[in-house]
Amino acid sequence: MKNKKVWIIISIPFIVIILIGGGILYLNSTFTPPVSTHYIFPVQINSIGAGDGFSMAITDDGTLWTWGVHRALERSRIRTSGIPHPTNIMDNAAYVAGSNTIIPFGSYQSAAITTDGDLWILGVYRVGYNAYRTFSTPTRIMRNAVAVSTGASHMMTITSDGTLWGWGNNRRGQLGDGTTINRDMPVQIGTSTDWISVTAQDLHTIALKNDGSLWAWGVNHRGQFGDNRTIGYEYAILSPVSININTTWISVDTSSFHTVALCDNGSIWAWGSNLSGELGNSTTTNSGTPVQVGNSTDWVSVAAGNGFTIAQKTDGSLWSWGTNQLGELGNGEGGFHRENSVLSPKQIGTDTDWASIAVGAHRTIATKLDGSLWTWGWEGRGEGIVIGDSAYGGNRYSPIKIMADFDCRKE
């Protein structure tokens, strides 16, 4: 990726608060969006992220675009209503993440890592009981970040030295720092320096170490941990505990109530709630331990939504299973009937040129090898705002192409 300079304006005051492990914490470093420019798509998409009501994408020039219902932008001078088409909010971005939780205010958190490792956040964050903090413009939080995940009201990040950090609401121990104290700035989780990925959700977090082991903390009321223990909602695990499964994992993703993980032999395993068949094992029986999704060993990625799962195979095909009430599965069907649920993997169309996927609570966005961007699922306001095409309302039950030959504003 090109190493171009950050196109930002730093506002006064700019205060370096404290040096913490792998990064520096900033409280008042904000990004002022550049003046209007016009871009004509299609362009290459390098990274994507999906929240419940909004989406984000990074193009090959490092430009970060967003669209949908983003409360933080609505409270700022950037936007006073939903964003009906992709709009630029910052440059020099390399990686983006959006919260796919189902708790209302958690739906509006997002984060981006720039090419120089700076972590920027945007959204409405819950920092205590009925207490929220709004970042209406991208605000720099840390340096040297390499991975980030946004939950309903907390955020987790990994820095370049392999340490894990968290901040936000901690009422149920979702930060993993051994307390239930809410944090308004990043705190290091333990002393380990071998974390490689993390996924944050409503009230729990799951992370992966470089030895292939999985760790979890927070609330385990639906069996999301996969350790065969279902602990009541009122109880919480306050520090990372190892999920003692004799398997080497290479990736993991979790929704509010179920978890999916990819094994090093190409198999997918799932555990937790299975009300709509989201575990993909041809049943609707919940499981507190991992169950294999079919017999295939040619999976390369998997993502968990609210009651559904999307996965990709080595041949470039996409597959989905679980609830399909809002078109989440992208198989051309859908509706508010249980019979629309799919209990085992079903291919999405016949295309075999898919490149990446990102899942929101009720939607999916995906890229193809040609860099094009596609989406399907919940529309939201019925005006194309959440989907991003702004052409007509309604949920999308099959993949549609967006950001194609569209006059987007960089504003």
Please give the pLDDT value at position 26.
32
User: In this predicted model, what pLDDT tens digit does every residue of 241-251 receive, in sequence order?
Assistant: 998 676 789 99
124 bridge partner residues: 134
- State the greatest distance between any 2 C-alpha atoms of the chain, in Å, as a whole number: 57
- Residues paired with residue 183 on neighbouring β-strands, in sequence order: 168
- Identify the three-state secondary structure at position 73: helix
Give the separation between CA 117 and CA 31, rounded to whole angstroms.
Answer: 15
Torsion, Cα 71 72 76 77, to 10 degrees, reads -70
3-class SS of residue 105: helix
Identify whether the C-beta of residue 214 lies closer than 8 Å to the C-beta of residue 206.
yes
Q: What is the pLDDT of residues 332-366, one digit of tens each?
A: 887 665 567 999 999 999 999 999 998 887 888 89
For residue 340, what is the DSSP state?
Answer: G
Query: Does residue 18 belong to any structural domain of this protein?
Result: no
* Residue 191 counted as domain residue: yes
Residue 209 is assigned to a structural domain of this protein: yes
DSSP classification of residue 107: G
Strongest mean pLDDT among 7-16, 105-114, 121-130, 172-181 = 172-181
340 domain-assigned: yes
Strand 154-159 relative to strand 145-150, pairing: antiparallel
Q: Would residue 7 count as lying in a domain?
A: no
Average pLDDT on 234-261 reads: 88
First CA to last CA distance, the chain: 23
CA 113, chain centre distance (Å): 13
Distance CA(342)–CA(277), nearest Å, equals 6
Q: Mean per-residue pLDDT for 149-162?
A: 91
Q: Kindly report, residue by residue over 6-26, the tens digit of the pLDDT.
A: 222 222 222 222 222 333 333
Does any domain span residue 21? no
Q: What is the mean pLDDT of the chain?
A: 77
What is the rounded average pLDDT of the residues 76-102?
65
Q: The whole model's pTM is what?
A: 0.82
Q: For 27-31, 214-218, 350-354, which range has the lowest pLDDT when averaged over its residues?
A: 27-31
Burial label, 36 (beta-carbon count in 10 A; 0-12, 13-18, 19+): exposed
Position 312 in a domain: yes
**What pLDDT does 84 receive?**
66
- pLDDT score for 235: 75
CA count, 13 A, side-chain hemisphere, 170:
23
**Rounded Cα distance, 106 and 53, in Å:** 10
DSSP codes of every residue in 359-395: E-SSEEEEEETTS-EEEEE--SSSSSTTTS--S--S-
Residues 320 and 345 sit within 8 Å (Cβ to Cβ): yes
14 belongs to a structural domain: no
CATH for 356 = 2.130.10.30
Mean pLDDT lowest among 102-111, 188-197, 301-310, 394-403: 102-111
Cα–Cα distance between 331 and 270 in angstroms, integer?
21
Determine the structural domain holding residue 227 and report its residue range: 28-410
pLDDT-derived band at 233, boundaries 50, 70, 90: low
Q: How high is the pLDDT of residue 108?
A: 62
- Residue 381 pLDDT class (50, 70, 90 cuts): low
How much is the pLDDT for 294?
96
Amino acid occupying residue 161: D
Model pLDDT, residue 42: 43
For residue 74, give the H/E element and its range: helix 71-74
Number of domains in the chain: 1
Report cis status (omega within 30 of 0) of the bond before 138.
no
